[in-house]
Amino acid sequence: MWLPLLVSCFYVVAFSLWTVGLSFTRSSLLPDYSWTGWHNYSAILASRNWQIAYTNLYIYGIGFVGLATLVGLMLAILMDQRIRGETAFRTIFLAPIAISFVVTGTVWGWLFNPTIGLQKLAHDIGWASFHLNWTVDRDMAIYAIVVAAVWHGAGFAMALFLAGLRSVDSDLLKAAQIDGAGAWRTYTRVILPGLGPIFVAVLVMLLQFAIKTYDLVVALTAGGPGLASTLPAVVVYDFMFQRGELGRGSAAAVMLLASLAVVLVPYAAWSIWRNRRATLA
C-alpha cells in the first residue's frame, strides 16, 4: 500500500537526477553516457538563443507578474465593495483558469494579427493611425505574451487577494473607522500591510509560472518573429527535440530548475520559518 508513495518519490528524485546526469554527458540524438563535465552548460550559456530567452524572461517576468498582481489586487478591492453581481464578475475573471494556454495563445494571436485582429477593426471603423501588430513586431512580440498571460493569470491573483481581504480582522477596520481614516488611508495603512503574506504567495506563484511558461509562447508567437519572443522553456525543448542535442537540452533544463529554485527556496524557507514562529507563539 506504500507502493504509490514510493513510486511518487522515486519518480521525482530519479528522473531529476537522470536529467542532471544527462546534462554532463555528450548525448546528442540518443543518450550517450560519456562525461563532458560542464561543457554543455558553458555552451548553453554562450548560445544566442539562451541569452535572448533570458532577456525576454526578465521583460516578461516583470511585466506579467507586475501587471497580473496589480490588476488582481485592483479587481479584488473593487469586488470587495459589496457590489451587485459579484458571482457573475468572479465567474468572468476566473474563467481563463479553465482555459488552456494553447487556446489562450491561439485566440490572442488572432486579436494581435494585423489582418484580422483589433488593428483591422480599428481601421474598419475609421481609426487609420491605430497600430497593433505585436505578434509580428520584433520589439513588441514579448509584450503580446505579457498581455495574454495577464489575461490568464490576473483572476488567480484576484481570488487570492479577495480571500485575504475577506479575512481582515473586523476590529482593525472598526478602529480605523473610529479614528476617522478615509478609504485610501484605511487600505494603504491598515488593510494592505496585513496582506503581506498573500502578496508574497501571489508573487511567488506567478513568478514560478512565468519561469515555466511554454505552451503560451508556442501557441501565440512560436517564439518569433525570429527569436524575439522565445523563453528559456522553449529553448530547452528546441535543444532536446528539434536539434537533437539531449545533453545541451538537459543542461538548459537544469538551469531552468535553478532559476526556479532562486524563487522557491527562499519562499519555502520563509514559510517554514513563519510556521515555526506561529506554533511557538
Site for another protein in 41-100 (CB under 8 A): 71, 74-75, 78-83, 89-100
Identify the three-state secondary structure at position 27: coil
Instruction: State the minimum distance, in angstroms, from the CB of residue 256 to another protein.
Output: 5
Q: How many CA atoms lie within 13 A of 238 on its CB side?
A: 17
Which lies closer to another protein via its Cβ, residue 9 or residue 62? 9
Which lies closer to another protein via its Cβ, residue 229 or residue 250? 250
Q: How far is CA 278 from the centre of its chain?
A: 29
Q: What is the C-alpha to C-alpha distance for residues 45 and 238, in angstroms, rounded to an integer?
A: 15
Residue 93: burial class (beta carbons within 10 Å; 0-12, 13-18, 19+):
buried
Which lies closer to another protein via its Cβ, residue 228 or residue 248? 248
Q: Which stretch binds another protein (CB under 8 A): 43-51, 60-68, 134-142, 239-247?
A: 239-247
Helix (H) or strand (E) holding 217: helix 215-220
Which lies closer to another protein via its Cβ, residue 140 or residue 264? 264
- What amino acid is encoded at 211 in this protein? I
CA distances from 232 to 20, 70, 223 (A): 17, 25, 10
> Can you read off the three cell numbers belonging to residue 190?
491598515
Given 69, 233, 248, 251, the residue binding another protein (CB under 8 A): 233
Q: Which of residues 149-168 bind another protein (CB under 8 A)?
A: 151, 155-156, 159-160, 163, 168
Which lies closer to another protein via its Cβ, residue 146 or residue 198? 198
Site string for another protein, 180-219 (x = CB under 8 A): ---x--xx---x------x--xx--x--x--xx-xx--xx
Query: According to the binding rule CB under 8 A, does residue 128 interact with another protein?
Result: no
Q: Which of residues 95-124 bind another protein (CB under 8 A)?
A: 95-104, 106-111, 113, 115-118, 120-121, 124
Residues with Cβ < 8 Å from 151, sequence gap 6 or more? 96, 104, 108
Instruction: State the minimum distance, in angstroms, from the CB of residue 48 to another protein.
Output: 20
